[in-house]
Amino acid sequence: MTDMAIQLKQVSYRYARTKRFVIDNLDFSVKRGEFLAVMGENGAGKSTLCQIIIGIIPNSLGGRLKGNVIVEGLDTKEATISELATKVGIVLDDPETQLFTTSVQAEVAFGPENLNMPVDEIRERIKWVLDVVKLTGYEARMPTALSGGQKQRLAIAAALAMRPSILVLDEATSQVDPLGVVEVLSVVKELNQKYGMTIVMTTDQSEEVAKLADRIIVLDRGKLVAEGTPREIFSDTALFSRLMIRAPQVSQLGMKLQQLGHPFPTFPVSLEEGYKGIVELVDTKPSPEDSVKEDKPVETTTPQNGTVISVKDLNYVYQPQEVKAVKNVSFDIHKGEFVAIIGQNGSGKTTVLKNLLGLLKPTTGNVVVAGMDINSTAVAELAQHVGFVLQNPDQQLFAETVEDEIAFGPRNLLLDEATIKQRVEESLQLVGLENQRQEFPPALSKGERAKVVIASALALNPEVIVLDEPTTGQDYKGCHQIMQIARKLHEDGRTIVFVTHHMALVAEYARRVIVMCDGEILVDDTTEGVFAKPELVRQAHIIPPQITELCQMLPLNIGLPRTPLSVSQVVDSIMARL
Which residues within the stretch 32-71 sit at the binding site for other proteins (CB under 8 A)? 51, 54, 56, 59-61
**Which of residues 353 and 558 has its CB atom nearest to other proteins in the complex?**
353
Restricted to residues 194-253, the positions that interact with other proteins (CB under 8 A) are none
**DSSP-based three-state secondary structure for 534:** helix
Which of residues 7, 48, 105, 203 is near other proteins by CB under 8 A? 105
d(CA 358, CA 87): 50
The partner residues of 90 in beta bridges, in order of sequence, read: 168
Among positions 7, 42, 98, 251, the unique one binding other proteins when judged by CB under 8 A: 98
Of positions 5, 65, 79, 109, contacts other proteins by CB under 8 A: 109
Taking the complex as a whole, the smallest distance from the CB of residue 357 to other proteins amounts, in Å, to 7
Per-residue binder mask for other proteins (CB under 8 A), 391-430, x = binder: -x-xxxxx---------xxx-xx-----------------
The least CB distance from residue 510 to other proteins, in Å, is: 22
Helix axes 119-132, 178-193, angle to 10 degrees: 120
Q: How far is the CB of 478 from other proteins (least distance, A)?
A: 17
Under 8 Å between Cβ of 406 and 419: no
Residue numbers 527-546 binding other proteins by CB under 8 A: none
CB of 81 to other proteins, least distance (A): 5
Site string for other proteins, 116-155 (x = CB under 8 A): xxxx--xx--x-------------x-x-x-----------
Of 318, 434, 555, 575, the one binding other proteins (CB under 8 A) is 318
317 binds other proteins (CB under 8 A): no
Smallest separation (angstroms) from other proteins to the CB of 48? 11
Q: Which position among 300, 321, 376, 435 is part of the footprint of other proteins (CB under 8 A)?
A: 321
97 binds other proteins (CB under 8 A): yes
Contact predicate 83/75, CB 8 Å: no
> Is residue 183 within 8 Å of residue 4, measured between CB atoms?
no
**E strands along 159-276, which residues?**
166-170, 198-202, 215-220, 223-228
> What distance in Å separates the CA atoms of residue 382 and residue 128, rounded to the nearest whole number?
53
Nearer to other proteins, 51 or 251 (CB): 51
Closest listed residue to residue 551, CA positions, set 540, 539, 560, 542: 560
- How many binding residues for other proteins (CB under 8 A)? 77
* Residue in 183, 187, 138, 118 with CA at minimum distance from that of residue 159: 187
Residue 246 beta carbon to other proteins: minimum distance, rounded to whole angstroms: 24
- Note whether 81 binds other proteins by CB under 8 A: yes
Q: Which of 162, 210, 342, 503 binds other proteins (CB under 8 A)?
A: 162
Stretch of 86-94, 204-212, 258-266, 555-563 lying at the interface with other proteins (CB under 8 A): 86-94
Instruction: Give backbone dihedrals phi and psi of 155, rounded to 5 degrees, phi first.
Output: -60, -40
Shortest distance (Å) from residue 5 CB to other proteins: 16
User: Interface with other proteins includes 89 (CB under 8 A)?
Assistant: yes
Which segment (208-216, 260-268, 274-282, 375-383) binds other proteins by CB under 8 A?
375-383
CB nearer to other proteins: give 260 or 380.
380
Question: Beta strand pairing status for 198-202 and 35-39?
Answer: parallel
User: Which part of the chain contacts other proteins (CB under 8 A), choosing from 207-215, 260-268, 319-327, 416-424?
Assistant: 319-327
| Residue 354 or 480 with smaller CB distance to other proteins | 354
CB of 527 to other proteins, least distance (A): 27
* 85 in contact with other proteins (CB under 8 A): yes
Count of beta carbons in the 10 Å neighbourhood of residue 478 = 22
Chain-centroid distance of CA 68 in Å reads: 33
CA distance linking residue 229 with residue 150, whole number of Å: 30
| Under 8 Å between Cβ of 375 and 503 | no
- Cα angle value 97/158/56 (rounded, 5°): 60
Footprint of other proteins on 451-510 (CB under 8 A): 456-457, 460
Reported in sequence order, the residue ranges of 115-248 that DSSP labels E, i.e. its strands, are 166-170, 198-202, 215-220, 223-228
> Rounded to the nearest whole angstrom, what is the least distance from the CB of residue 119 to other proteins in the complex?
5
Q: Which residues, 6+ apart, have CB-to-CB distance to 466 below 8 Å?
A: 353, 356, 357, 386, 387, 388, 389, 497, 498
Would you say the C-alpha torsion 42, 45, 51, 56 has a positive or negative sign?
positive
Between CA 403 and CA 520 the distance in angstroms is 40
Q: Does 90 bind other proteins (CB under 8 A)?
A: yes
561 touching other proteins, by CB under 8 A: no
What residues numbered 351-370 form the site for other proteins, per CB under 8 A?
A: 354, 357, 359
Pairing state between β 464-468 and 386-389: parallel
